[in-house]
Structures are given as C-alpha cells and as structure tokens.
Amino acid sequence: MVDHQFAEPELAALYDRFCGWDGRDDLDFYLPLVMAAGRVLDVGCGTGMLLHRAREAGHAGRLCGLDPAGAMLDVARARPDVEWIQGDLSSASFDREFDLIVMTGHAFQVLTGDAQLSQALAAVTAALAPSGRFAFETRNPAARAWDRWTQEHAVEVFGPAGQVFRQSHQVELPVRGELVSFTSTFTSAGWQRPRVSRSTLRFLPAGALAGFLSAAGLTVEEQYGDWDRRPPRDRSPEIITIARLT
C-alpha cells in the first residue's frame, strides 16, 4: 500500500530523504502506539522507517512490515530483525496475529473503490487479535489538500553525493467526487529523463469512513483532526482514527 511514486529502485533509495522522520508529524504519533503493542503489522510500510525506529527504541515483540513494492522493501531489509513481507492486504493471510495494525503516510487513501476498501478492512479484522486496534489516517476532504499540490510547492532534497532531486505534483482538474488523480514528476540534473508516475487517492468523508469501519466490525475508539490530538473540526487537515475490533 505504498505510495507508488517511489516504487522504482532509484526513487525508493530517495524516499527517506523526501519523506524522512524529521519532515513528518505522523510517525511521532504512531511510535508510542507501536511501542505499547506486543505484535504490530505496518501495512504499506515502505522503507520500514517506523518499525526500524521501534526496534531501535527497544521493542522486543513481533514487528512485521507489509508492502507491495519490492524496491522499498529492499531498503527496509537493511534491518533483518523485522519481518518483511511483499504483498498487500488482498494477498496477505493473517489470522488473529496482531495487537495493532497501522497504516501511515496516508496509505489508506490508495483504497479507492468500495469493494477494495471493504476487502482491505475485512483483512484487517481477520489479522487483529481480540480487542486489537487499527490506527491510520486519511486526509479530510474539506481541507482540500490537493489545492497545494502544485509546481509552486515542489520539494527539493540532496542526494548522498550532493546532487539535487526535485519532486513536483500536478492535479488533474476539475476534481469531482472523492477521487483525486495527479502526476508526480521527479527530476535531477544527472538524469537523462524525468521520472513520472500517476496516482489516484480517495478522500473519504468522516461519515462514510465510519460506515465502512462499522460494517467491518471496527469501533472508533479515538479520532483526531491533527497530529497534536486536537478534536476533529469541519476543516481539520486529517481524520486520524484508532479503531478497536468489536
């Protein structure tokens, strides 16, 4: 369930530079949840940043990362004391094995269809031990995050040899309904051509999200509008949810 913009090996090696811990707010929120759970599954684990940090912080239980992108897992496997599985929730077959399942980095939003979302949540409930919890976030559609996915908000990072890499987005307009499609373009002076990928994300309203969770047998235990745990508002940037298996 990784962001497929980084699925190529050359881009996967840059993921932690574009999306590193210090530039994100979500991982400091999830890390205490991971540390408090004995058995943890990170769906869409990418390069394994969260599970790496948990092991470094002394987590002694089972840590498992699941991701469909082999190039991302090649980076993650630098740490062999975590279980890494290539695949996604549709291909994995876990049976009551985890106390906590997390989906970070807005990975939940790649579940774009009703059937795909329902199938994924069914897999989550099948993988959770009794009273297990599922923690994830999705962007609040009312905040219209895609309005800032423009050339003016491009991001540049330095590679290991000091070379500059640039990432920019262009949204396909007009945006109608819950699906937002966009292209991501990566450029660097040392490349003969840009790397371009197309993605589609679903911006699910809170009410519809609650319906899918309830149908899957999950009860919302905590919900926040931002990473500082402030209550959700109409235009909060996030819908951060911790749900418990009922």
Percent of the chain with pLDDT strictly greater than 70: 98
CATH code, 74? 3.40.50.150
Residue 151 and residue 137 share a domain: no
What is the chain's mean pLDDT, rounded? 94
For 229, residues 6+ apart whose C-beta sits below 8 A from its C-beta are 29
Structural domain boundaries enclosing 128: 4-141+204-245
For 246, residues 6+ apart whose C-beta sits below 8 A from its C-beta are 217, 218, 219
Does the pLDDT at position 246 exceed 90? no
Residue 12 and residue 118 share a domain: yes
DSSP state of 225: S
Residue 175 and residue 74 share a domain: no
Of the candidates 185, 194, 188, 193, the one whose C-alpha atom is nearest the C-alpha of residue 161 is: 188
Nearest 5°: the CA angle 187, 140, 35 is 85
For 177, residues 6+ apart whose C-beta sits below 8 A from its C-beta are none
Q: Which residue, 201, 221, 236, sits at the end of a domain?
A: 201
Residue 136 and residue 84 share a domain: yes
Residue 93 and residue 38 share a domain: yes
Does the pLDDT at position 8 exceed 90? no
Residue 211 and residue 135 share a domain: yes
Residue 12 and residue 123 share a domain: yes
What is the pLDDT averaged over residues 212-216? 97
DSSP H or E segment with residue 64: strand 62-67
Interior/surface letters 50-72, b for 16+ CB within 10 angstroms, e for the rest: bbbbbbeeebeeebbbbbbbebb
Does the pLDDT at position 1 exceed 50? no
If one counts the domains in the chain, the total is 2
Residue 52 and residue 151 share a domain: no
Residue 50 and residue 8 share a domain: yes
Residue 85 and residue 9 share a domain: yes
Q: Which residue, 170, 186, 201, sits at the end of a domain?
A: 201
Residue 87 and residue 63 share a domain: yes
Interval 49-104: pLDDT, tens: 999 999 999 999 999 999 999 999 999 999 999 999 999 998 888 999 999 999 99
Torsion of CA 147, 151, 157, 159, to 10 degrees: 130
Residue 22 and residue 111 share a domain: yes
Tell me what pLDDT residue 6 has.
82
Q: Is the pTM here over 0.85, yes or no?
A: yes
